[in-house]
Structure 1
Amino acid sequence: MKTIQPEELQAKLDAGETVHMIDVREADEVAAGKIPGAQHLPLGLVEFKHQDLDKTEEYVIICRSGGRSGKACAFLESQGFDVTNMSGGMLEWQGEVEL
């Protein structure tokens, strides 16, 4: 499984790169703040909503600490998606958040 450090993701965003991000935390966690531009798709819905995602895109998967996003990555990889897990999750994120 590919991983990216929060600082690496921040550098990509700061450089103006288009990064497709999926936050798999629960709604109450996301309400406390998410990375601007991240799409919210709770882990429990990934199996049912993955067909709405574009297999030609690369996605960075985000959760609180990296565990749930790892599970989402494993599932999405098995379905043919190009995904990267953000190590450390939002606990390690030092960048901007949106409510």
Structure 2
Amino acid sequence: MDITPKQLKEKLDRGDDFVLIDVREPNEHEAFNVGGQLIPVNTIPARISDLEDKKDAEIVVYCRSGARSGMAQRFMQGNGFTNVRNLTGGMLAWQDEFEG
């Protein structure tokens, strides 16, 4: 299941309890982010065990456009994570919606 920028902003504004993961590269994260924990997509297989206790938690993953986070979402779901949501359109859509 995916999540729109508007839905994510509402969750952040309410202070909902969920895990937010930025799967972009460190330079992209430094340039602009919405507070997600940085775990670049190519490091997720090695770091999946760090997230083991979050298997049933709501997790939102995001990247620049939604492609890398979609890969991360599928990988995590394949490893038993039950509630992983991909930010539709990624940070590009977020910036269009709220920065534009």
- 2:72, 2:59 → 1: CA distance? 11
Quote how far apart the aligned CAs of 1:84 are.
0.5
Specify the SS of the correspondent of 1:93. Answer: helix
Runs of 4+ off more than 3 Å: none
Unaligned runs of 5+ in 2: none
Equivalence for 2:66? 66
TM-score by length of 2: 0.88
Structure number with the higher helix fraction is 2
- Between 49-58 and 80-89, report the one with greater CA deviation: 49-58
Report the Cα offset of residue 14 of structure 1.
1.0
Percent identity, please: 44
Counterpart of 2:71 in 1: which secondary structure?
Answer: helix
Please name the residue that 1:20 is paired with.
Answer: 19
CA distance in 2, matches of 1:3, 1:74: 12
Q: Which residue of structure 2 aligns with residue 57 of structure 1?
A: 57
Pairing partner for 1:40 from 38, 41, 51: 38
**Whole-angstrom CA distance in 1 between matches of 2:87 and 2:77:** 15
CA root-mean-square deviation: 1.4
Give the paired residue count. Answer: 94
Q: Distance in 2 between matches of 1:48 and 1:9?
A: 27
Deviation (angstroms), 1:65? 0.3
Q: Secondary structure of the equivalent of 1:35? A: coil
Q: What is aligned with 1:84?
A: 85
Q: How far apart, in 1, do the equivalents of 2:33 and 2:64 lie?
A: 10
CA distance in 1 between partners of 2:15 and 2:2 (Å): 20
1:18 CA drift (Å): 1.9
Query: Aligned equivalents of 2:57 and 2:17: distance in 1?
Result: 10
